[in-house]
Amino acid sequence: MIFVELFTEIKYNIENIDNSVIKMNEKNKKILEQIKGGLIVSCQALPEEPLHDSYIMSRMAFAASEGGAVGIRANTVEDIKEIKKTVDLPIIGIIKSVYPDSDVYITPTLAEVDALYNEGVDIIAVDATNRLRPSGVTFTEFFTEIRKKYPEQLFMADTSCFEEGKLALELGCDLIGTTMCGYTPYTKGEAIPAFKLIERYSKELSATVIAEGGIWYPEQLVKAYESGAFSCVVGTAITRPRDITRRFVSYLNK
């Protein structure tokens, strides 16, 4: 009798675990379906920028939603909390943190990942470049740890070159972004948007590619999709009026 009760309890627990995993996978699938083929708008403002305010970022996100955005990329838990009050869209969350012993600043350590996970961010984006993280941690060491800790969380790898994307995919990253192309010492000068990188990721790795970085015109957005992107992120060209103004003024000064 005791054996039967024990077996029943074990079977119940296993079924619950399986159902939880299935439910989570279905949730992730829905998130990816929501962002596929659309425009994700990055709503960020650093402390030194004029629009640095969580409330302002939430209104930016609302305006993006009204305009047809399918997702939001946002920085800090504070901004994400405010944005969630105004829009019901998938959020790619990051935390930009500067550490004295590393050039990596996009979600660089487990502490930032924990904070984003606890906030319930749909997709957590991390720097996946071939640079040492704080305390000399490699990307492989870092991502192996967070993938094990959060097996059902969707992760996006912000990469700068093909080798980084290949490694990120092998380690279990769900989405491969071109975010850092042109922003690492070994990719400085690379043309952005990184159409060639998008195409290689798509064709050679069959990766779920997020095109991000340097998209200023609708024509570039279309070309990113033609190159094989799964979804695209546009930030500065939409949500940074100071940079947009400077771009216009620069043409007058030519």
Question: Is the pLDDT reported for residue 149 higher than 50?
Answer: yes
pLDDT value at residue 75: 98
CA-nearest of 150, 77, 72, 82 to 115 is 77
Could you tell me which residues come within 8 angstroms of residue 149 by beta carbon, excluding any fewer than 6 positions away? Answer: 110, 113
Burial of 30 (0-12, 13-18, 19+ CB in 10 A): exposed
13: confidence class by pLDDT, cuts 50, 70, 90: very low
Could you tell me which residues come within 8 angstroms of residue 97 by beta carbon, excluding any fewer than 6 positions away? Answer: 105, 107, 108, 109, 112
**For residue range 184-214, what is the model confidence (pLDDT) as tens digits?**
999 999 999 999 999 999 999 999 999 999 9
pLDDT (average), residues 123-134: 98
CA–CA dist 179, 197 (Å, integer): 11
pLDDT (average), residues 105-122: 98
Q: Please state the pTM of the whole predicted model.
A: 0.89
What radius of gyration, in Å, describes the C-alpha atoms of the chain? 20
Greater confidence, 69 or 7? 69
**For residue range 17-33, what is the model confidence (pLDDT) as tens digits?**
334 344 458 999 999 99
